[in-house]
Amino acid sequence: MSPPSTITRRSVLAGGTALAVAAPFVKAKAADAAVTFRTGFLSAVDAQWGAHWTATDKKFFEAENIAEEINPGGPNAPPTLTALSAGRFDIAIGNWFGVVDAVAKNNDFVIIASNYPKNPAGLMSLPKAPIRNAADIVDKRILLQFTYYSETIDGILKYNKQPTRYTPRPTGFSADTLLNGDGEGYFSYVDRSPIILEMRGMKPGEDFFVTTFTSMGYDLPDGLYTVKRETLEKNRPAVVRYLRALLRGVAVNDKDPDYLTDIITKKYLAERALDPKVQKRQAEIYKSLSRVDGGKGPLWFSPQQIDRMYEFAAISGRTNIPDRSKIIDLGPLEEALRTL
């Protein structure tokens, strides 16, 4: 009898804040495949990653003989792909440019799925200085939570043949800085800050605008599930089972966002006092972001999007990008979808 496949649990949380939040989370159990998962930063761990909470609560991972541990990282933790390279995690979340840069540094990484097949990012603006297209970005002050977001804005402007002339300004995770006049554009995911403004009674399209990056040509998938090639080659069946559990979680949340809202706000993330109305709205919006037209199912992105990924990599000045067959493998996801 052959030995069971394993995805070794090697996660180590760095930083006191991250540990304090992560301690009540899912603890890995004895199983033949312990998979570690980590998002990019603390504020991302909510309904945006609802498939993980539901798959845990419904014991979908357990049914697949997978032991998952969610490690949300934090301000003092290393970047997710750095931790993946160091062997701290088996599956990490990255973005396209981050994965390409990591591969350029001799990391043999493979993208196997996307939490956001439809790009969730965009720019929020107000009626007094609306941003409705790429040309409207020019000469505006753009509020960005991370400096590397400038590369995305630059790419969008170049793709639309506009001058890369705007003023990036650092900001936090509240759109109040936009409302206070600190800038004319505010970087946001469509399932985050716009919901908060709606809850305050502001009407999208009247009191504020959200122009998605996809509408400006940047329709790249985001939240890319990334693994080492050796993990995929040695433990492909376990990776398939992991993805199948996630897909089952997505299916439950699609049908019953109230269930996801309940387990997040009352069980797994109760200490964060999250607003149930916001969480439910996030879950509802995520349904439209978890799949693309013509795709094979949730977490799947299209060949056309892959073409655009390479196009934007070239626009950014990156060269010698590995062939898509070397850096992207949706085969395990296709198998998981086929066996649901």
Q: State yes or no: pLDDT of 45 exceeds 80.
A: no
Q: What pLDDT sits at residue 195?
A: 96
- DSSP 8-state assignment for residue 215: G
Q: What pLDDT sits at residue 68?
A: 82
Q: What pLDDT sits at residue 31?
A: 53
Structural domains present in the chain: 16-118+221-338 (3.40.190.10), 121-216 (3.40.190.10)
Which tokens belong to 96?
């396209």
**What does pTM read for this prediction?**
0.88
* CA 108/CA 85 separation, integer angstroms: 9
pLDDT tens-place string over residues 84-100? 999 888 899 999 999 99
Provide the H-helix boundaries in the chain: 16-22, 50-57, 60-63, 80-85, 96-104, 149-159, 176-179, 193-199, 229-234, 236-255, 257-263, 276-289, 303-315, 324-327, 331-338
Please state the φ and ψ torsions of residue 84, each to the nearest 5 degrees: -65, -45
- Give the whole-number percent of the chain exceeding pLDDT 90: 76
Contact between 332 and 243 (Cβ < 8 Å): yes
* Residues making up the chain, counted from first to last: 340
Q: Sorting pLDDT into bands at 50, 70 and 90, what band is 337?
A: very high
Closest CA to 227 of 48, 93, 106, 28: 93
Q: Mean pLDDT of all residues in the chain? A: 87
Q: State yes or no: pLDDT of 28 exceeds 50.
A: no
Closest CA to 92 of 254, 264, 251, 231: 231
pLDDT tens-place string over residues 219-277? 999 999 999 999 999 999 999 999 999 999 999 999 999 999 999 999 988 988 999 99
Q: What pLDDT sits at residue 43?
A: 54
Q: What pLDDT sits at residue 164?
A: 98
Closest CA to 152 of 218, 102, 103, 100: 218
Between these two residues, 110 and 27, which has the higher pLDDT value?
A: 110
pLDDT tens-place string over residues 177-210? 999 999 999 999 999 999 999 999 999 999 999 9
Q: Sorting pLDDT into bands at 50, 70 and 90, what band is 74?
A: low
Q: What pLDDT sits at residue 25?
A: 28
Q: State yes or no: pLDDT of 20 exceeds 70.
A: no
* CA 257/CA 281 separation, integer angstroms: 8
Give the amino acid at 45.
Answer: V
Q: State yes or no: pLDDT of 6 exceeds 50.
A: no
| Mean pLDDT calculated for residue range 55-62 | 95
Between these two residues, 2 and 318, which has the higher pLDDT value?
A: 318
DSSP 179-191: HTTS-SEEEEETT
